[in-house]
Amino acid sequence: MELRQLSYFVAVCEELSFSRAATRCFISQSAISHQIARLEHDLGVQLFERSTRSVVPTDATTRLLPLAKQMLSLESAIRAAVRASGPRIRLAANMSFATRSLSAIAGAREAHPGAEIEFVIKPFRQRIAAVADGDCDLALIRGSVDQPGLSVEKLWVEDLVVATSTAHPLAGRDDVTLATLGDFPLLLPPEQEQVLLHNVVRKAYAELPTRPTFGPPIPPDHTATMELINRPDAWTILYADSQTEGIATLKLAGSPLRVPVSAVLRSEARRSPILESLLSSLHGS
């Protein structure tokens, strides 16, 4: 058994899809399937019931998952404990924050030429855990978290995009309202997987006499853009970096849909001049 296998195992558990877990871990689907098969062989149990349409965890998976997360958390804590002291900062984010993060890192390094600032790619939950465990100094997230020992500092606000298939009846119009969109099915992931987007929709419709018409939830192993192409009558909300071919973005009349982008830090950690410089650059970039 290897730690990377446990990392892949956790990813499959959380994504319920080998393809999405492979994308998250930056490896091929065949490679992650091979490593999970090796882990099953080493443990002598089946961890997932696989079919062409779904990935279902077994009872053994339910027992293993909290232990696997504990092992990965310990790995982060060990790395943090032995990390050399010095002017070094680790920033956890995902690729959608890459351009802004690298610009901020360049600004912080200009102010502190001897600083070493790492940009670490991690999924949402691992970003939060890495800060809590001390493996990373700060994480960039959309929305907020409420967790003991962590503080959240708002950095900027990001516009969201209303998207449809290019075949949608409203595609190309520049006067679309939320009330008009309410006549068409809204496709979103299940609320437990995307609480932030569901909260944005609730807030946007709170003072309107109409409510959105929800279509079926987007399955964990599907993408919102592909669902739009298959459902040309539907619409969804995307982060600005999620646009793709065959998808139209609509100009929404009235107030735009927005989400805050925040930095997550350890509450009691001493903020070094380099960290303060990086946060200042993130504010201003």
Quote the pLDDT of residue 86: 53
d(C-alpha 30, C-alpha 38), whole Å: 12
| pLDDT above 70 coverage of the chain, percent | 95
Is residue 35 within 8 A of residue 8, CB to CB? The reply is yes
Percent of the chain at pLDDT above 90?
Answer: 49
**CB crowding 163-196: b at 16 or more within 10 Å, else e:** bbbeebebbeeeebebebbbebbbbbbeeeebeb
Query: Tell me, what's the pLDDT at 139?
Result: 96
pLDDT at residue 24, as a whole number:
82
Q: What average pLDDT does range 242-263 have in this prediction?
A: 84
Residue-level pLDDT at 6:
92
Whether the pLDDT of residue 243 is over 90: the answer is no
pLDDT in tens, 150-207: 999 999 998 888 999 999 999 988 789 999 999 999 999 888 778 888 999 999 999 8
Q: Which residue has the tokens 């192993």?
A: 221
Dihedral sign computed on CA atoms, order 8, 13, 17, 21? negative
Q: What's the pLDDT at 269?
A: 82
Give pLDDT, residue 50.
Answer: 86
Q: What does pTM read for this prediction? A: 0.64
Q: What is the pLDDT of residues 73-126, one digit of tens each?
A: 888 778 766 665 556 899 999 888 888 899 999 999 888 887 889 999 888 888
The SS3 of residue 253 is: coil
What is the reported pLDDT for 130?
92
Question: What are the distances in angstroms from CA 159 to CA 152, 200, 241?
Answer: 20, 11, 10
Mean pLDDT to the nearest integer, 22-38: 88
- What span, in angstroms and rounded, lies between the C-alpha atoms of 187 and 181? 12
Answer with the residue of higher pLDDT: 172 or 263: 263
User: 25 to each of 77, 122, 162, 223, 239, how far by Cα in Å?
Assistant: 20, 9, 28, 17, 21
The residue written with tokens 């020992």 in the block is 149
Amino acid 285: pLDDT: 62
Q: What average pLDDT does the chain have? A: 88
Distances (CA, A) of 163 to 130, 181, 193, 247, 272: 33, 11, 19, 7, 42
Check residue 215 and give its pLDDT.
94
User: In angstroms, what is the C-alpha Rg of the chain?
Assistant: 21
More confident residue, 138 or 23: 138
